[in-house]
Structure 1
C-alpha cells in the first residue's frame, strides 16, 4: 500500500493505492479539518482498477462517502453506491460510472546491438519495462533478425502485443566481421498492452539519404476506443537539418490527421533527435502538446546524457545533454480534456549495466470526453 498525503488549503488529500488479487484500486479522498475523527469523501472518489488482463479504468462516484484500502472491498463499495443512487449512469462492464480514461505511455531508444555487452543489456530493458509497466511503448533502434525481433521477444515476455517496421535511423551496420551484426535489421516498434487493431508505415522525407526511413502509425484497442500512436525516429544529421525539419513537420501532420479523431488522444512518440525548442519540432509545438512540459517535468531534463560511458559525444551539443526523446499528444475530440498526471525518466543501470545510452520518457495521461 502506498500512501501520499499533502495539505490542500483547509483539507487533507490522500491517495491510497493497493493491489490485491490482480486488481489495483486507487482511492483519492479528501476531508476537511473538522472531520478528522470521521474521514469522508465529500466531493468524489476515484477508483483506478487494473484487472487480470491489464485493462486500466478509472471510475468515479460523486459523494460516495466511502473509505476502503482493500481492492475487493473498494470495488464492492463502489458498486453498492452506484446501485443505490438514482441518476448515476452505469458502465456496462461492471456497474460503475466510467468518468475518466487513462494510459501510461513510454518512448525509449534501446540502442540496437551497439555498445559493449548488448546481450546483458536486454535484461535491463525488460526489467525497466516491468518496473514502469507502460500500457503503450514506442521503441527506437530495435533489432530484428533470425526470424524474430527484439520487440516480439519483449512483448512475449511482458504479455504485450508488438509491431515492428524498418528502415529507420541509423542504418543497420553492415560489418561481416561482427557476427552479432550480420544480417540484423534496425527499425522502430510499438508495444501495447491491448491488441493492435491496425498499423501502417509512412515514408518520411529524406532527400539526403539513400534509404527511405519510415514512421509507424499504430491503432490499439484501448478500453475507451481506438488509441493512435505515431512512432518515429528522426534524422540526427545536423548538416541535413532541412530533412530534419521536414520530418518533424511530417510526423506532426500524421498525428493531426482527422481520421485519427475519436474517443482517445493521439500520441506522437519517439527519438526525435532534437530539443523541444529546436526548429525541427516547431510544427509539433504548434499543433501538439509536449507531455513533459505539461506534466511539470524539469526544464533541464536530459535523455542523451554525456555521463553515459558510451555517450555519442560526436553528435554534438544539439543532441548530447538534451531532451531529444519526446511524447507529444493532442485531444481526440474538441471537447476532450487531457491531463498529464505525471512524467518520469527511466532507464537507470540494472546490475551495473546501462540498458541504453538513452533514458526513456514516461507519461501518465488521463482524459474525459
Structure 2
C-alpha cells in the first residue's frame, strides 16, 4: 500500500489521522509506504500509526511542501507487519531522499522503497534525475538477488518521460490498465482547482519482474465522515512475495 497522507494540512488533520488509521486497518496491508507524513517534537506520525496498527515503523525527512506549522517536518514513512532488518536513507537530489527497508521473508529479503519526487510543474529535469537515481538503486539491489518494491508519490503520469528510468527496471503493478486509477482527483474536496496534475495517476507501486501483481485498487475515499482522509487516494496492490 502507498499513500500520500497530506501532512497536517487543513483544519481537520486530527480527524483525518483517525480516518487514515481506519483505512489502513481495513485494507490489512503487510507494508505501507507513506509520503507527507509528519514529525514534530520527537513524535512521528509513523510511530503513532504503527502503534495503533501493530506494525513496525520508520521515518525519514525529505523535501516536501512546507507544513503551516514551522515546527512540523514532513517526510517519508514505512510501516511493516514484519521486522525491519535494515533501514537506510538514500540521497537523490534537491533534498529529496528515498527510504529503504530490508525485510526478511523466510530465506530471502524484500527491499521496500518509498520516495516522493518533486511536485512542481517546471521540475521535469529534477524528477528525471531523481528517478534515474532510484533506478540505479533498484538495479544495485536486484543484483544481489533480492526482490524490490518501490511505492510512492512520483508526481508524474505514467506516460511522462520522467518515469522511463524506473519503468526500465520495474513493472508498474496497477491492474487493469483499462482503469486509469486516478489518485489525484478533482472529485476530492481537498484538491485545489486547476492543479497541473489534476485527474492523473501519480501514485505507484512498482515491483521487479519476479513479483506478479494479483490485483490492485484505490482506497481512502470517504472514511472521514464522508470525506477522504487525504488529498490523494491510496493505492493497494496484492503481490505474492513468498
Which one of the candidate residues 323, 331, 335 is aligned to 2:201? 323
Please list, as runs of the form range in 1=range in 2, the aligned pairs for 1:159-178 lying within 5 A after superposition. 159-170=54-65, 172-173=66-67, 175=68
Which one of the candidate residues 242, 253, 256 is aligned to 2:136? 253
Please list, as runs of the form range in 1=range in 2, the aligned pairs for 1:101-180 lying within 5 A after superposition. 106-170=1-65, 172-173=66-67, 175=68
Cα 1:358–1:218 shift into 2, 3 Å: same
Q: Which has the higher contact order (CA 8 A, sep 6+)?
A: 2
TM-score (norm 1): 0.62
Which whole-Å CA distance do the structure 1 matches of 2:145 and 2:192 have between them?
Answer: 40
8 Å Cα contact 1:120-1:353 kept in structure 2: no
Which whole-Å CA distance do the structure 2 matches of 1:141 and 1:246 have between them?
Answer: 21
Which whole-Å CA distance do the structure 1 matches of 2:176 and 2:241 have between them?
Answer: 17
Which whole-Å CA distance do the structure 1 matches of 2:169 and 2:64 have between them?
Answer: 25
8 Å Cα contact 2:138-2:169 kept in structure 1: no
Which whole-Å CA distance do the structure 1 matches of 2:178 and 2:73 have between them?
Answer: 35
Which one of the candidate residues 119, 138, 153 is aligned to 1:271? 153
> How far off its partner does 1:147 sit?
2.1
8 Å Cα contact 2:60-2:77 kept in structure 1: yes
Which one of the candidate residues 107, 110, 116 is aligned to 1:227? 110
8 Å Cα contact 1:109-1:356 kept in structure 2: yes
> How far off its partner does 1:148 sit?
1.1
Which residue of structure 2 lines up, in the alignment, with residue 291 of structure 1?
173
TM-score (norm 2): 0.93
> How far off its partner does 1:195 sit?
0.5
- After superposition, the C-alpha distances for 1:229-282 in whole angstroms (9 at most, x for unaligned) are 11100001121211111111111221221466335x201110000111111101
Please list, as runs of the form range in 1=range in 2, the aligned pairs for 1:316-355 lying within 5 A after superposition. 316=196, 319-331=197-209, 337-350=210-223, 351-355=225-229
Matched, 1:282 2:131: no
Which whole-Å CA distance do the structure 2 matches of 1:122 and 1:353 have between them?
Answer: 12
Cα 1:137–1:301 shift into 2, 3 Å: same
8 Å Cα contact 1:228-1:260 kept in structure 2: no
Moved over 4 A (4+): none
* Larger-gyration structure (1/2): 1
Cα 1:260–1:155 shift into 2, 3 Å: farther
Please list, as runs of the form range in 1=range in 2, the aligned pairs for 1:293-312 lying within 5 A after superposition. 295-312=175-192
Runs of 5+ in structure 2 lacking a partner? Answer: none
Runs of 5+ in structure 1 lacking a partner? Answer: 1-105, 176-180, 207-211, 332-336
Which residue of structure 2 lines up, in the alignment, with residue 185 of structure 1?
73
Which whole-Å CA distance do the structure 2 matches of 1:342 and 1:275 have between them?
Answer: 20
Aligned residue pair count: 241
8 Å Cα contact 1:297-1:344 kept in structure 2: no
> How far off its partner does 1:107 sit?
0.5
Which whole-Å CA distance do the structure 1 matches of 2:61 and 2:111 have between them?
Answer: 19
8 Å Cα contact 1:168-1:188 kept in structure 2: no
Which whole-Å CA distance do the structure 2 matches of 1:129 and 1:163 have between them?
Answer: 16
Q: Which has more strand, going by share of residues?
A: 1
